[in-house]
Chains A and B, each alone.
Chain A
Amino acid sequence: MASNTRRVISQALSTLQRNTLSTGDPLGFNQVYWTDWSQGLSLPKDGSPCMYTGRMYQMLPYAGQAAKLANRYQGLLACPGMSQIMSWGNRVAGEKTIRRMAGTGGEIATRAQSALRGISAGLRAIGLEPGYLYDAEPYSGVLLHELGADPGARTQAGRLGALFQSKGVSEVVAVDPHTVHFLRDDFPEVLEGAGVKLSHYLELLASEAERLAPKTALPMKEVVVHDSCVMARHLGIVEQTRQVAEALGLRVIEPPNHGQDTACCGGPIEYGFEELCAEVSLMRARELAGAGSQVMVTCPICLLNLSRHEREAGLRVWDLGELLDLALGGGKDAA
């Protein structure tokens, strides 16, 4: 066990809270990185429902590097005063360092962007005209809440509610389960107070699944469905995932531990427990690989953590958004 866990947690919490509240970004980035996926899609700013990404997919290449960096220097936190030096270092050079490490973001960035394009294409395919707030879109604050830093999480959620209200947004569709659970179950008063109705994209797509006719055949006939813990157990979204996959012409294979009994990908503790996180995600990756080589996920955190073990476990992990992108052509036709 880490001999300086208290300092690691302190450092993670204070950095996350400071970054989120001062820049609207958990990594403290000032340079806009979260709108690239939307290029060429002509999403209107005032479209409805407003597509809220919470930057969750876009930050994957950077979050992975930030976690690596944090875990690499954990040992230094045992030295007195080092916490403050590291906080100062993060403020001054954090963004540059993480960006340099991430480079162009690699394959995970491509997959994340494809997933978001696919989700917007799916929404258009069922007859909606999703909007997007582009660079005005902040992070929700969900990780602060998960780590117990509720004052900061509440402040950030309140800002989000105020933003939607100021932009005249009355319907929001979010793309990841963590954000939906945070805004719907943990701080419901925020969006209710702003008069905003929140859905997860799968809830909308499943209700009109028959309209998701693929324009392009997918490169696989069947997928092993990995249910996200938050999606299945917190939000109760299980059947909807399968309805959408089947609408795309895929046969669903159920792995051991699926639906309400799904097993975790390990991702939520990556920020400070790299080794434990990797062991949990490898255990799950092997379990999924036993059912089939093409795995479908519906959560950016699952995508990042399970895709790390693709070679080792002999599988390919696809986000459902990526499959929508492939099947529906990225929504560009509809633009």
Chain B
Amino acid sequence: MKLSPDPKKALLTELNKCRACRFCVDVCPTYQVSGGLEALSSFGRIQIIRHLLTGMLELDDSLSYALYSCLQCRRCENTCKAKGQALDICQIIQQARAYLAPDYAKEVADGV
């Protein structure tokens, strides 16, 4: 996934490659230890990002937890590659963080 001057568009383009096969879910460590909580899986996180980008969801505490608790371990990407799609799942998550991070740092500065 290439860095882009338009991160929102780049993220949505990459997200649209996902066929929702969900094979990546089972290998996600945070999904495994959370007793099968979909929001804490690779697939769950990219769905959250998609809906944040399209304005269907707003970033609140629980969605922040899902987004920032990703280990960036890329195990999901191995599975995705093996299934023929090869999404840069962890980079999608990392870049979604980057897209949101300036607001977060600003919150502290403003004393929210």
Tell me the A residues contacting B by CB distance below 8 Å. Answer: 1-7, 9-11, 13-14, 17, 81, 83-84, 87, 145-151, 229, 233-234, 260-264, 266-269, 272-273, 276, 279-280, 283-284
Contacts and interface: CB of A to CB of B under 8 A. Distances in A.
B68 A280 contact: no
A283 B30 CA distance: 11
B6 interface: no
Contact of B75 (A2, A6, A263): A263
Q: Which of A5, A147, A284 has the most CB of B within 10 A?
A: A5
Given A148-B101, A229-B75, A5 B68 contact: yes
B13 interface: no
A98 to B, nearest CB: 19
Query: Could you tell me the dominant secondary structure of chain B's interface residues?
Result: helix
Query: Could you tell me the dominant secondary structure of chain A's interface residues?
Result: helix
Interface residues of B, number: 38
A233 B88 CA distance: 12
Given A13-B101, A280-B30, A283-B33, A84 B60 contact: no
B29 to A, nearest CB: 5
A84 B108 contact: yes
Contact of A276 (B69, B97, B107): B69
Nearest to A234: B74
Nearest to A282: B33
A13 B105 CA distance: 6
A237 to B, nearest CB: 14
